[in-house]
């Protein structure tokens, strides 16, 4: 079956612009989470969605937002881009159903590499 698809794979923006990244999860997966990966900070959790509801959010400013659609596809948006937002943004989906289960495996997409100039 198809894996997690992230688009675009690469993009370049300038400071002050905004960007929208898309993630299509594995068919049947209803949980989608987003991570930011940078050389200095490593992998940091952004937020997680399940059935169109944000269930948890990491420690990022309000410029970072996301949403999930009824088909489980998710988007994240970063407004007023800063140089420090340059990163690989990873999306992961899980078949997590309702109550939390830490045993659920995250399946990652290849990521969207954002460069802010």
Partner 1 sequence: AQSVTQLDSHVSVSEGTPVLLRCNYSSSYSPSLFWYVQHPNKGLQLLLKYTSAATLVKGINGFEAEFKKSETSFHLTKPSAHMSDAAEYFCVVSGASGTYKYIFGTGTRLKVLA
Distance CA 102, CA 90 (A): 19
Residue appearing with tokens 């992230």: 6
Based on the shown chain and the rule CB under 8 A, indicate whether residue 98 belongs to the binding site for partner 1.
no
| Shortest reach from residue 5's CB to partner 1, in Å | 11
5-7 vs 19-24, strand pairing mode: antiparallel
Q: According to the binding rule CB under 8 A, does residue 67 interact with partner 1?
A: no
Structure tokens at 69: 């659609």
Interaction between residue 60 and partner 1 (CB under 8 A) = no
Are the C-beta atoms of residues 108 and 4 closer than 8 Å to each other?
Answer: yes
Task: Out of 56, 71, 80, 115, point to the residue binding partner 1 (CB under 8 A).
Answer: 56
Total residues at the site for partner 1 (CB under 8 A)? 27
At 83, phi and psi to the nearest 5?
A: -55, -35
The residues of the shown chain that bind partner 1, judged by CB under 8 A, are: 4, 6, 31, 33, 35, 42-43, 45, 48, 50, 55-56, 58, 90, 92, 96, 100, 102-103, 105-111, 113
């Amino acid at each position: 079956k198809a894996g997690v698809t992230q688009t675009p794979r690469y993009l370049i923006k300038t400071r002050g612009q905004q960007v929208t990244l898309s993630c299509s999860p594995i068919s049947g997966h209803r949980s989608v989470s987003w991570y930011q990966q940078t050389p200095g900070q490593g992998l940091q959790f952004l937020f997680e969605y399940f059935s169109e509801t944000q269930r948890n959010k990491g420690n990022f400013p309000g410029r970072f937002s996301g949403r999930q659609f009824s088909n489980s596809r998710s988007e994240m948006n970063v407004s007023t881009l800063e140089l420090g937002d340059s990163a690989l943004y990873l999306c992961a989906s899980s078949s997590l159903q309702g109550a939390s289960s830490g045993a659920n495996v995250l399946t990652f997409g290849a990521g969207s590499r954002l460069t802010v100039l």
